[in-house]
Amino acid sequence: MKSGLSLIALALAAAVPAIVHAQDQNDKAKAEKPADYEPQIRTTKLSGTFGGQRVNYAATIGETIIRNKDGVAEVAVVTTSYVKEPRDPSRPVTFLFNGGPGSGTVWLMMGAFGPKRVAIPGTGVDDGAPPYPIVDNPDALMDVTDVVFIDPPGTGFSHLIGKAKPEDYYGVTQDAKLVAEVIRRWLGDNGRWNSPKYLGGESYGTTRTAAVAHQLMNATYNDVAFNGLILISTVLDFAAGADTPGNELSPVTNLPSMAVTALYHGKASAASVEAFAEEARQWAIGPYATALLKGQKLQGDERAAIRRELARFTGLSETYLEQADLRVTPARFYKELLRDRGLTVGRLDSRYTGKDYDSAGETPDNDPSFYGIDASYTAAINSWLRDGLGFKTTLEYQSIGRIGGQWDWRIGGRDANAYLNVTPYIGQAMRENSGLRVLVAQGWYDFATPFFAAEYALSRTGIPQDRITYTYYGAGHMMYIRDDDRRKLSEDVRAFIRAR
């Protein structure tokens, strides 16, 4: 299935379209590094007000060198840590990363939880041209936890060294083992083995969270327990969400996202987003799922009734829905919903609208919710890490690298056609650690990782339901670009950490 998983890899790069950056220079630079690579570490003493508290802290950006069995340096992993001073080993520490595979931590660091953030419109309007304001972020988590941002190889400034082989590090399990080692090294180097620990990520970063937790708690090491997992814009069950002909779960799990998007753009009516989302959930998992499973046996009055309800939820015409055999892919939905206005809607955040070259065709030219924010975040992370924290490098920061096409999606020894689902890793970790809780944060307007797909994955057998908390936000995949949602997300994470 070149297919499914390859396309998902490209689509989920921070849940954005795959974009080719000038990584050739990075490849050339890494090949020239000697085997006795000396890590760069820079520490800056700073202070700020977070959650209403004044905090003195050390910001350290440094490289962790991963060596092969012969002691030869193969990977330089860049971490950026923010640690309150004076240091307190009883204080929680939270490890965070972004997704992709291939996405740097730019999004969570400069958008949500870092001490500085880039200030851009959060209302569906693009970020325009530089300079972009880089401002203090009072919503950063430094009042309740130290924070360590990790860029796996191929993301940010992290890179392979010398003759290191990509296949040894670019894959679900390979990546998880490496990140697990980086975390253990950080705990040892900083005297934090007995600190309360939290692990989290965004998009494929939630997949990585499950896989890393599995490595640390159940597989390779089996010696690091976490107090909580933080899943932001969650994707765990890839097969269920694959937009592949014949997969009836995809239209089911996408239907509630289509409904709230139609409501936002005035193509549907309801008392509230929450009420319409719940109505759509119940209809999708009930009558709609039953109808789709009947396949071509769905005929006559029953088919007509499903078509009418589907039109009410999606804002699309019954004629179009019949032509699509009652199964509208997200890509078609982005183009069709506002075709009468000459607009498309975004994938990462369907509040955003774009204008294509023309109004024909069945899919958009591009994702307006990505090109509406990408330049500002890339400018901000380079400015902050290079100028603010003094990191010196000739490498380019990989906001969205191109390693997704090289990703090894096999887990547990299965081949690439297997059902890829890391949710059971979370279930096992929760069953074997009674103190482990899970926070799931989802934007209503996110088609990259739909909220109902996350709920579906985490409601399966073997996952303790009483230790999972769901929170929802009025934006999309990067919900923190909206000021109200950034503040709410910050408070929700604070409450989650304090509740231990």
What is the mean pLDDT of the segment spanning 190-202? 98
Strands 134-136 and 197-203: unpaired
Distance of CA 407 to the CA centre of its chain: 16
Copy the structure tokens of residue 119.
């200030």
Amino acid at 250: S
Whether this model's pTM surpasses 0.75: yes
**Residue 315: how many CA atoms within 13 Å on its side-chain side?**
25
Radius of gyration of the chain (CA): 22
What is the mean pLDDT of the segment spanning 329-349? 96
What is the mean pLDDT of the segment spanning 158-168? 94
Is pLDDT above 60 for 172? yes
* CB atoms closer than 10 angstroms to residue 15: 31
Q: For domain 2-236+373-449+462-498, which architecture applies?
A: 3-Layer(aba) Sandwich (3.40)
What is the mean pLDDT of the segment spanning 469-493? 97
Query: Residue 414: which pLDDT band, with cuts at 50, 70 and 90?
Result: low
Provide the pLDDT for residue 97. Answer: 98
Copy the structure tokens of residue 111.
């958008």
Provide the pLDDT for residue 120. Answer: 80
Query: Residue 380: which pLDDT band, with cuts at 50, 70 and 90?
Result: very high
Query: Residue 322: which pLDDT band, with cuts at 50, 70 and 90?
Result: very high
DSSP state of 40: P
Segment among 110-124, 137-151, 282-296, 303-317 with least mean pLDDT: 110-124
Provide the pLDDT for residue 134. Answer: 93
Question: What's phi and psi for 393, nearest 5 deg?
Answer: -160, 150
pLDDT (tens digit per residue) in 225-247: 999 999 999 999 998 888 888 99
Closest among 287, 291, 285 to 253, alpha carbons compared: 285
Provide the pLDDT for residue 418. Answer: 66
Copy the structure tokens of residue 104.
């740097």
Please state the domain extents for the chain.
2-236+373-449+462-498, 240-367
pLDDT (tens digit per residue) in 83-126: 999 999 999 999 999 999 999 999 999 999 999 999 887 776 77
Copy the structure tokens of residue 13.
């790069």
Provide the pLDDT for residue 392. Answer: 95
**CA torsion sign, 486 to 348 to 96 to 63?**
negative
pLDDT (tens digit per residue) in 323-333: 999 999 999 99
For residues 138 and 140, give the distance between their C-alpha atoms in angstroms, rounded to a whole number: 5
Provide the pLDDT for residue 28. Answer: 45
Closest among 235, 249, 172 to 14, alpha carbons compared: 235
Instruction: With beta carbons less than 8 A apart as the criterion, state whether 12 and 203 touch.
Output: yes
Is pLDDT above 70 for 268? yes
Instruction: With beta carbons less than 8 A apart as the criterion, state whether 405 and 436 touch.
Output: no
pLDDT (tens digit per residue) in 36-70: 678 999 999 999 999 999 999 999 999 999 999 88
Stronger pLDDT, 8 or 473, i.e. the higher one: 473
Provide the pLDDT for residue 396. Answer: 93
Is pLDDT above 70 for 76? yes
Query: Residue 10: which pLDDT band, with cuts at 50, 70 and 90?
Result: very low
pLDDT (tens digit per residue) in 23-34: 444 544 444 444
Provide the pLDDT for residue 251. Answer: 97
**Residue 2: how many CA atoms within 13 Å on its side-chain side?**
1
- Across 246-363, the runs of DSSP E, i.e. the strands, are 344-345, 353-354
Is pLDDT above 50 for 8? no
What secondary structure does DSSP assign to 124-187, as a single string? S----SSPPPEEE-TTSSTTT-EEEEEE-TTSBT-EE-TT--GGGTSBHHHHHHHHHHHHHHHH
